[in-house]
Structure 1
Amino acid sequence: MAINYDKWNNIEDYTSDENEDETPLSYIKNSDSGKSGKLLTIPWDTFCEKARWALDLYQTKYIEYGYPYPLHIWYIIDEYSEPPPTPQITDVPILEFNNQIYTDCSKIFIFLYSRALGSKLRIYSNQEALTHEKYFDENLAPAAKTIFYNMVLSSNKLCEDIIFKSIHLSTWRTLYRLIWPIAKMNMKNIFGVRNKKIQEEAWDKVEETFKYADDLLSKSDGEYLLGKTLTAADITFAAHAIPILCPNAEEHIWFNDNGIGIRCPSIKDLPADLKSKVESYRLRPSGAFAMKLYKTKRGKSCGSKPSRYAKENTPLWAQEYTLRRLVYGLFILAVALGWFFVLSNPWYISLIAYFIISFLLIRFIIKPLKESQYGRRITRIMFYFFNNNGHENIKNHVHSENCQCHSHEEEKEKENATSRASTEDKKDQ
């Protein structure tokens, strides 16, 4: 079969010199240049901002589907996970591109880096970048997340401005309002909102990571953490530092000219103790460095979002507060009618009615639900929350001859390789 070289003829000629400051990427015309990816995010999550930043730097088109925490689990757990007892995928960002799925930031970064090897934007050109990226992911990210939720969930105004206004589609915003009391309580417990010890530990970790970045800058021979080239370490530090430095449109005129996807409050909207901390971290070398990156290197967004006005995104129930009022009203009515029935009838009549209603629920609602895709999602979510996502199964797993797990396959391969090597040695002798 003849080889078709037509796609190579479409590559524009490009020359550069080594002292060039800016790195044009438009010359990278490959077979994927006209395609768009699908990016699943939590809009205010720093890992998701890190992924958006990299995609925008590499001028990769994508459609962003932003789901609020923890409703994102409902969507991704069935689409991207194997059936239990395999651990379920519940973290974002997730990128779908050209029929491939990348389930964390590191995989997305490597995909982008390998896809544009001709570019001067080489985020892993320095081998140390991966080490520092991992350090910021494991230390700064969880601390920043804890501080962000403590900052926002303590104020109803900030919840409205930062969280609800970040949810693009009215369907998801309406559903989130429905479960908001439970979701808010859950997030407060998980992230230690108003827990003095947890918040102090988070700020101590922030201090440690900012000092780490200060040291890198002091040793660097260029304007970035690792020299004269922007790397994954710079993007990772700056993305995770957003909740600490709070860049926002009210204070920074350049904010609306770039693609930062996390809404942050203005300093004047913060309590006095948080206000002083944000101001002090902005003045540090690493803080000033991150603020400079937001202004000069974040760039415009290459992403788009699904239409708010598409028919599937504008159902009748997806009006502000409508669904919540309807569900809460029906619940209160059902409870009131139940109590009225119990109090106005003999106990045995109430007991018979209870069994009849239970049978009808099981027969016509619970059983069909269990056999549907919604039941499958509920089963997987219960497995994730109540079975430690299968990690105990893996820990206690005993390999057998018929075992199909990957680790057992690797052991078999090692044994086969050893036996082949010993056989070859015997032949040589």
Structure 2
Amino acid sequence: MQKQKPFRLITIPVSHYCEKVRWTLDILKLPYVEEPHMPPFYRFATTKVGGESVPVLVTEDQVLTDSTDILKYLDSIAPDDAKLYPVDSQQLQEVEKLEELFDKKLAVAVRDWAYFYIVDNSQIIKSKWTHDVPFFEKLLFPVFYPIMRSGVKNKYHINEESAAQAYAQIESIFAKVNGLLADGRNYLVGDKISAADITFASLAAPILQPPQHPINSDSEELPAEMLSKMKKIQETAAGKFVLNLYKNWR
């Protein structure tokens, strides 16, 4: 493959959607420079290039603002033996269907469930939001945290009822993946790692806390009830599958 200029990847480092893209870039060995920001500062970077949320991938000739669009673009320039989307049409359809389920349902449920437990804890949020961000953003965290905390709660309707619904959604999706894994397969689709595996593992990572995740956090600081629910998910077949993917591929 022709040597290329590194991509620019605008992120909130702890974001599971950003991890999905970062992992894909790493596994395909594509050069990139990550530009990390905390809320709300990432918007200054993304709006300058025509994006809104993160991740945003800036290439030499285009800007991609959706994690799945980014993965498909990266796959299109990857070597034939490293493709993450199957050539077989039926397998491709399965991968795309799973990826959409994980993007639209799992990611949202994991986000809402996690925020219920941690959004009011400024120390936990600071450690997650300010990882590797520019120094001045860290300095301004105390100023912006109360505003962003209120914004998160209102935008995502974070409360005890929504957290319970989110956890039920997580359990339902994990049950579906448990079913896929029941035949002893090593990957969700086909006989090699695909976008479905990376998407599932990345978006489930906040509730599973794999040690190999690049943005590690100290689980001991999390609320006991949250840790208990996390342990339940970690012990499922799907949870163990994700932890193994991180161990072997991350």
Matched, 1:37 2:7: yes
What is the letter of the counterpart of residue 193 of structure 2? L
Match of 1:110 in 2: 72
Contact 2:187 2:197 in 1 (8 A): yes
Matched, 1:265 2:229: no
Larger Rg computed on CA atoms = 1
Match of 2:232 in 1: 280
Match of 1:161 in 2: 127
Residues of 2 paired with 1:105 and 1:67: CA distance? 17
- Please, which moves more after superposition, 275-284 or 287-296? 275-284
Residues of 2 paired with 1:210 and 1:101: CA distance? 33
Match of 1:236 in 2: 199
Residues of 2 paired with 1:155 and 1:177: CA distance? 12
Match of 1:198 in 2: 162
Residues of 2 paired with 1:271 and 1:54: CA distance? 31
Question: Out of 135, 144, 156, which is 2:110 matched to?
Answer: 144
Residues of 1 paired with 2:19 and 2:160: CA distance? 27
TM value normalised by structure 1:
0.54
Cα shift readout 1:153-181 (whole Å, capped 9, x = no counterpart): 232331233223x1421022223332222
Q: CA RMSD in A?
A: 1.8
C-alpha deviation, 1:34, in angstroms: 4.0
Cα shift readout 1:355-414 (whole Å, capped 9, x = no counterpart): xxxxxxxxxxxxxxxxxxxxxxxxxxxxxxxxxxxxxxxxxxxxxxxxxxxxxxxxxxxx
Matched, 1:124 2:85: yes
Identity of aligned residues (%): 30
Residues of 1 paired with 2:137 and 2:41: CA distance? 8
| Structure-to-structure mapping, 1:259-408, within 5 angstroms | 260-266=213-219, 268-298=220-250
Residues of 2 paired with 1:285 and 1:264: CA distance? 23
C-alpha deviation, 1:68, in angstroms: 1.2
Matched, 1:189 2:151: no
Residues of 2 paired with 1:227 and 1:197: CA distance? 38
What is the letter of the counterpart of residue 94 of structure 1? V
What is the letter of the counterpart of residue 140 of structure 1? L
Contact 1:149 1:191 in 2 (8 A): no
Count of residues in correspondence between the two structures: 245
Pick closer, same or farther for the CA change 1:296–1:144 going to 2, 3 Å.
same
Structure 2 residues not aligned, in runs of 5+: none
C-alpha deviation, 1:37, in angstroms: 0.6
Contact 2:126 2:141 in 1 (8 A): no
Residues of 2 paired with 1:67 and 1:161: CA distance? 13
Structure 1 residues not aligned, in runs of 5+: 1-28, 82-88, 249-254, 299-429
Cα shift readout 1:309-354 (whole Å, capped 9, x = no counterpart): xxxxxxxxxxxxxxxxxxxxxxxxxxxxxxxxxxxxxxxxxxxxxx
C-alpha deviation, 1:97, in angstroms: 1.7
Contact 1:167 1:173 in 2 (8 A): no
Contact 2:95 2:189 in 1 (8 A): yes
Residues of 2 paired with 1:72 and 1:160: CA distance? 15
TM value normalised by structure 2:
0.91
- Please, which moves more after superposition, 44-53 or 105-114? 105-114
What is the letter of the counterpart of residue 227 of structure 1? G
